[in-house]
A and B are shown apart, each in its own frame.
Chain A
Amino acid sequence: MELTAKNISFRYSSSSRRILKDVNISIDNKKILGLFGDSGSGKSSLCKILAGHINKYEGEVRLDGNEIPKGFNPVQLIYQHPEKVMNPKWKMHEVLGESWDVPDDLLEDFGIQKSWLNRWPAELSGGELQRFSVLRALNPKTKFLIADEMTTMLDAITQVQIFESVLKIVKERNMGLLVVSHDRNLMDIICDDVIYLDDINHV
């Protein structure tokens, strides 16, 4: 399986500077790919385009040569700030339930305690919330996971925990994974390949 982005160009509004210019990238489910770049190089925009969170761009995103299907998107994105990706009026079980029925053993794998399911997002800290946001994205229909600075705001121990759980499930399900980070050491450990997105956006 392969997720490809061809000739992607993007700017926020017609007047502003172009953030991405003719970017080509391809992710497959056999290797874990790392994406590395300076701040402002358009990494986050590229991630959003790949996962369908941005719709107005030039170029095309394909899954095995086909268009991304409507409805559930097999490409799911994890943001840096988990508190922004949850409706503050939902309890945690509703947050997970929006995507799928998560089996108990997987909750345990991700270090989620049952009692947390009845809490509001405001009652949990960033580390715990991020476990939920990752697990929500891991619907059985998900084929590719894009982790955009997923653990940047977390401490090193939580970072290990989350990545261990994610890597396990990615291998089990034969999923594709794109890791975006500014931490070279982290990428060296996790990724099979690392690519560099520089200022002029040639991958």
Chain B
Amino acid sequence: MIDKKKIAKFLGYKIVRFAILLVVVILLSFILIDMSPINPVNAYISNMVVGPEKIAKLEAYWGVNQPITVKLMNWLGNILTGDFGTSLIYRTPVLQVISEKFTASLILMLSSWVISGVLGFILGVLAGFKRDTWVDKAVKVYCYILQSAPTFWIALLVVMIFSIWLGWFPVSGGVPIGALSNTVSFWDWLRHLILPAFTLSILGVASIALYTRDKLIEVMSTDYFLFAQARGESGWTLIKRHGIRNILLPAITLQFLSFSELFGGTVLVEQVFMYPGIGQAAVSAGLRSDVPLLLGIVIFSAIFVYVGNLIADVLYNFVDPRIREGEESG
């Protein structure tokens, strides 16, 4: 049984820790952006014609000439009241932009996360089980190559093959730009989702498959695996009873720890497929000096990654019986 009180204590500790972490992440990113030559006023007016008194007003609003501490305090104060500011390029509140874009990206990330996890685990088990055969070699070669391939290049290849050469999918765009999301048919939306999700999935397979393979081989040389063999267990049942049981949890944990990589991959893939998600928004915000949006995205991506790490931690601390019940029996 999982001890509820212990979990609550653990989560409480983790949340406090996360709060501190978040403050540091905010400080860090704020300082980094403040160091940069980005000027939000210029970004805001970009190609509008604006008079000098308007510029002065804007500068006052953004606090361009104020010391960093004052700017930071203002901004932090606003965040605490739930106001992340207004995006300069979308001209809408940052929170609204993020919630829209993050939803689009989450669908992309989660689908590829699940597919790559399941597929990678299966391939890894197969390769480890059929070690040193052609199956193993094929899986290994695939993984090594995919691991060394730049994400965006694979995305480019996928576009070249499936969109341009075969013409099966549209070349770009999550939804036609400018169309409201409720006017886009489900099929349209799915058609734009498949290629980016496919790209992220085939890339994500590599690390989980290699990890599973190595772990299974490690388990297969343990004393307990040997003893199970000595007791007449063999073949697939042996792998299932003593192999998979022992590697499933670490593999799932690893997959939860990969949220940071997943986010990075999504940014690149969205850029190539022009999928209007959080990654593309982040790149635009960075390139076009949309400071409020960029800061907002950093905070929410940090929350996203932390949640992944937290789940991994919980799995590790509360599912494995050795750690779960280790305390009491000492």
Contacts and interface: CB of A to CB of B under 8 A. Distances in A.
A15 B330 CA distance: 8
A16 B329 CA distance: 8
Interface in B89-141: none
B327 interface: yes
Nearest to B330: A16
Interface of A: 12-13, 15-17
Nearest to A13: B330
Interface size class on chain B is under 10
Interface string B296-330: 00000000000000000000000000000001001
Contacts of A16: 330
Nearest to A11: B330
Nearest to B328: A15
A11 to B, nearest CB: 9
A17 B328 CA distance: 10
Contacts of A13: 330
Contacts of B330: 12-13, 15-17
B3 to A, nearest CB: 14
A112 to B, nearest CB: 33
Contacts of A17: 330
B244 to A, nearest CB: 33
Contacts of B327: 15
A190 to B, nearest CB: 35
A12 B327 CA distance: 12
A13 B327 CA distance: 10
A134 to B, nearest CB: 30
A30 B330 CA distance: 40
Q: What are the 6 closest A-B residue pairs judged by CB atoms, nearest first?
A: A16-B330, A15-B330, A15-B327, A17-B330, A12-B330, A13-B330
Contacts of A12: 330
A166 to B, nearest CB: 34
